[in-house]
Structure 1
Amino acid sequence: MTSLLDRPASPRSADLTLRRGATRVLLDNWAGTSTVPSRTLYPHQWSWDSAFIAIGLRHLSARRAQRELESLFAAQWGDGRVPHIVFNSSVRNDAYFPSPDFWRSSTAGAAAGAPTMCETSGIVQPPVHALAAWLTHEADTEESRRRAFLPRLYPRLVAWHDYLLNSRDLGGGGLAAIVHPWEPGMDNSPCWDGPLARVDPAAPDTFRRADLDHGHPADRPTDLDYGRYVQLAVAYRDAGYDDRTARPAFALEDPCVNALLIASELALAEIATQAGEDAAVHTQRAARLTDALVNRLWDDEAGTFLARDLTSDTLVRERSVAGLVPLLAPGLPAELVDRLVATLDGPHFRADSCDLVPSYDLTGPVFDPTRYWRGPAWFNTAWLVERGLRTHGRHAHADRIRSSVLNTAGDTQFAEYVDPTTGEGRGARAFSWTAALTLDLLTTQETCR
């Protein structure tokens, strides 16, 4: 049998080295049916990580990329939600916090249809999955059709989007809301500071942070932030994870989450066609979501999209990379695309030494180049912005970001994130989505030569 490491690659030695390095990370982090983000800090399966990982895995093995997504959706709840963590029962509880005994999904989430064959968290992450499924199908259409990959996954993806569009339309404006800072994936963003300040934190002696066993405290959220995260999760759990009765102290509409929902609805339209279903419902949803995104989250003064705090019904006056991800929406008005590109090129997001996009405004009052999501540049958000730029024909800008990803990933040993002012790797190394998305950009670059 041919090893995945022996697949044909570019004759360019630098590209070959990068390809082999990325492949090795994905092979080493494969756990049998899915891929862990990191063998140290993140020993379980994460939702949007698996979607990004599948996008890279498709270039090595479309079958394995399919299994990545199928294993995640096997843990889908009856109400349609896809949990942000699927726990590996062979990993001891103290290896990661919050652990399965904290979430108590199979009992606390029983009324919402939590699975009984595995334990999960009760919150969600951004909906990249339909986009990942479509790209995985395109990588090997024959294998996909042989396994009926899209017809089997389609109803699960529909249920997932239905959950976000119905149960999570907490603002009544047609956008999906988040109820915990972990849900948008940008856990420690300064965008959440104001809304989080209303939350009384859990007592420090009621939980133990396992993340500090593997990460430097200067890079991680503070104990105060963690106490608030825990309190929000406890309140949601104790409400049975029921969005009809829970009264979240933290509820926002995030531009990245909703931009990804638009992109995934358009991917779902392609999937529907292949599965013999009605594609029009998904293109119509994408159009309505785009209108709602512009009407509710665009801020002309900031030149970007901002999160909306549903408690105060006001926009959060902080610029972050989340506000640039709506470039993924092909129906975005041309004048907004121009403004977003100008913002990307301006002082808020353009660093002299690194073209990876910082997670937070470089000129912002609490910018920190090393602390989790408060400034560091991440490879997954760079990939999203790169794809968004190409959606609108901004190939020169996209090429710049792609080159920065390919130049930085290998140099940092596929770091979790980097200091945007120096390009220095931070966080975990051999990080799966960094390797996967590097492989994707490397492969698509080669096909365009």
Structure 2
Amino acid sequence: MNTPATTDDGGTAAGAAAAVGARQIAAQSIAVLEANWRTTHTVPAGGLYPHQWSWDSAFIAIGLSRISPRRAGQEMDALFAGQWDDGRLPQIIFDPYRDADYAPGASFWQSSRIPGAPKHVETAGLVQPPNHAWAVWKIHQADPAESRRRSFLERNYSKLVHWHEYLSGRRDRNGSGLACIVHPWESGTDNSPLWDTVMKRIPGNCKTVLNRPDLQHADAGERPSQKEYGKYFWMAERYRDHNCDDADPDYPFLMEDPLFNTLLAVSELALAEIAGELGLPAGPHLERARGISAALEALYVPELGCYSARDATDGTMVHKATVNGLIPLLLTELPHADALLETLYGPRFMGNNALMVPSYDATAEDHNPALYWRGPAWFNMSWMVSVALEQQGHTEKAAFLRNNIARLAAEQDFPEYVDPWTGAAHGTRSFSWTAALALETTYHGSPS
């Protein structure tokens, strides 16, 4: 993979320094991605996350597409190889040689025994947010000729359609037009305050002996607690023991998440582009994107000025402001865009000179800028907000976020997440999507 050329800004000294800085950041980012490459895919981090994660791979592929569309395509091919018969793309595809290094692993899920799961690889039964069609379209855009030569879109279009049909079908548990997540891990924002209320009714008496290899790579104060893990495992056990069939009538965790459903809508729009490229009807994808966008309006909470999650078991709205509720800004015809922008720039998020977007309301009493999804800023979330701001015409604010994503990533050894105000690193280091998105920002504004 090659370090990028940078765009010419007229030859000023400041421009030359910025170009050198961008090249250095790109080179450092590439080194992280190379170190985390495992023959067919990229692991999120060599120690803490030794397998292939679903939405991680899509973010990684978006960054990789800027320098090696072929490598980015391999990333997605490896993920699609774990697709289930019902269409789901699993949260994790396991490395059989690293089962002791992450819990729950392949020996917990035993997926090859579950009807409809692939037999050639072991996977988790859960899923993650559907950013995959978005990534596939970006890979194609990076080198359309190579994509066409390899039939990249043709190979993956039907797989993506099947994935979306699963989410819009079996996961729309109450006919609202929104997909439900069945576990906090499916949200990608594992211990977000959005799940606090429903988690109170989840038993913690799981059957599995809780092994925490994650604590060998990150401080306990930066990770979910043992009590939370007991509840996570209880839900995973119940879902697994029902063959991951989504038909458990009394399953207690069914949440409609604005982040998850926004990415489903964004990916439907990407599928419309893919269909158009393939000479197929784009209309059905556009219609589904509009339907999801319309259904999302039920998740808007005026007093928060953003979207939030809804408990699909009883219709209860969660009244907490999180970064999940800002991600609908990616939808360009959003009715509440002005309100979301005001919230983003206000005291709950960026209003107190934040460098990146906090994951949780900075004015909340239980905000913690070091604890996983309960306050720190994550690079993927800030990157998505920067994309949304660019689309909304807020180019200076978008550039501010992009610059901080790249700078803090390189300065802090590509951390999992950071303090939103100081930029202090937390979680594991040499984190792949941090490197990939830092790399992507160094190319912003240059041809794909």
**TM category, shorter:** over 0.9
Contact 1:188 1:372 in 2 (8 A): yes
CA deviation vs aligned residue, 1:46-85 (integer Å, no higher than 9, x gap): 0000000000001121111001001101100000000000
TM-score (norm 2): 0.95
Structure 1 pair 367/423, CA: closer, same or farther in 2 (3 Å)?
same
Contact 1:200 1:228 in 2 (8 A): yes
Structure-1 separation of matches of 2:434 and 2:49 = 14
| CA displacement at 1:367 relative to structure 2 | 0.7
Aligned counterpart in structure 2 of residue 326 of structure 1, from 317, 325, 328: 328
Q: Does 1:297 align with 2:304?
A: no
Structure 1 pair 194/375, CA: closer, same or farther in 2 (3 Å)?
same
| CA displacement at 1:15 relative to structure 2 | 1.1
SS of residue paired to 1:277: coil
Structure-1 separation of matches of 2:253 and 2:150 = 41
Structure-2 separation of matches of 1:247 and 1:210 = 31
Q: Match for 1:332: what amino acid?
A: L
| CA displacement at 1:204 relative to structure 2 | 8.3
Greater mean deviation of Cα atoms: 71-80 or 387-396 = 387-396
Q: Match for 2:439: what amino acid?
A: L
Q: Match for 2:327: what amino acid?
A: V
| CA displacement at 1:7 relative to structure 2 | 4.9
User: Matches of residues 47-446 of structure 1 in structure 2 within 5 Å?
Assistant: 47-91=54-98, 93-107=99-113, 109-110=114-115, 113-203=116-206, 206-245=209-248, 247-294=250-297, 296-333=298-335, 336-350=336-350, 352-446=352-446
SS of residue paired to 1:188: coil
CA deviation vs aligned residue, 1:367-426 (integer Å, no higher than 9, x gap): 111111010100000111111122222222212211221221111111110011311011
Structure-2 separation of matches of 1:9 and 1:290 = 37
Unaligned stretches of 5+ residues in structure 2: 8-15
| CA displacement at 1:446 relative to structure 2 | 4.4
Cα RMSD (Å) of the superposition? 1.5
Q: Match for 1:76: what amino acid?
A: Q
Structure-2 separation of matches of 1:445 and 1:347 = 30
Q: How many residues align?
A: 438
Contact 2:40 2:78 in 1 (8 A): yes
Q: Does 1:45 align with 2:76?
A: no
Structure-2 separation of matches of 1:179 and 1:155 = 25
Structure-1 separation of matches of 2:272 and 2:446 = 28
Contact 2:275 2:282 in 1 (8 A): yes
Contact 1:95 1:210 in 2 (8 A): yes
Structure-2 separation of matches of 1:197 and 1:365 = 19
Q: Match for 2:262: what amino acid?
A: A
Q: Match for 2:405: what amino acid?
A: V
Contact 2:84 2:118 in 1 (8 A): yes
SS of residue paired to 1:183: helix
Structure-2 separation of matches of 1:398 and 1:359 = 17
Contact 1:356 1:401 in 2 (8 A): yes
Structure-2 separation of matches of 1:441 and 1:239 = 43
Greater mean deviation of Cα atoms: 430-439 or 239-248 = 239-248
Structure-1 separation of matches of 2:61 and 2:264 = 17
Contact 1:351 1:421 in 2 (8 A): no
Structure-2 separation of matches of 1:395 and 1:353 = 17
SS of residue paired to 1:211: helix
| CA displacement at 1:206 relative to structure 2 | 2.1
Structure-2 separation of matches of 1:5 and 1:90 = 31
Contact 1:22 1:439 in 2 (8 A): yes
Q: Match for 1:303: what amino acid?
A: G
CA deviation vs aligned residue, 1:24-60 (integer Å, no higher than 9, x gap): 1111111010000001100000000000000000112
Q: Does 1:18 align with 2:21?
A: no
SS of residue paired to 2:370: coil
Structure-1 separation of matches of 2:79 and 2:262 = 21
Structure 1 pair 205/173, CA: closer, same or farther in 2 (3 Å)?
closer
Structure-1 separation of matches of 2:65 and 2:182 = 32
Q: Match for 2:296: what amino acid?
A: L
Structure-2 separation of matches of 1:85 and 1:122 = 8
Structure-2 separation of matches of 1:7 and 1:446 = 10
Structure 1 pair 360/237, CA: closer, same or farther in 2 (3 Å)?
same
Structure 1 pair 114/374, CA: closer, same or farther in 2 (3 Å)?
same
CA deviation vs aligned residue, 1:145-182 (integer Å, no higher than 9, x gap): 00100011000000000000010001321000100000
TM-score (norm 1): 0.95
Structure-2 separation of matches of 1:217 and 1:164 = 34
| CA displacement at 1:22 relative to structure 2 | 0.6
Structure-1 separation of matches of 2:184 and 2:273 = 31
Structure-1 separation of matches of 2:3 and 2:364 = 46
Structure-2 separation of matches of 1:389 and 1:15 = 22
Greater mean deviation of Cα atoms: 44-53 or 362-371 = 362-371
SS of residue paired to 1:38: coil
| CA displacement at 1:184 relative to structure 2 | 0.7
Contact 1:201 1:224 in 2 (8 A): yes
Contact 1:46 1:84 in 2 (8 A): yes
SS of residue paired to 1:343: helix
Unaligned stretches of 5+ residues in structure 1: none
Structure-2 separation of matches of 1:378 and 1:445 = 23
| CA displacement at 1:445 relative to structure 2 | 3.9
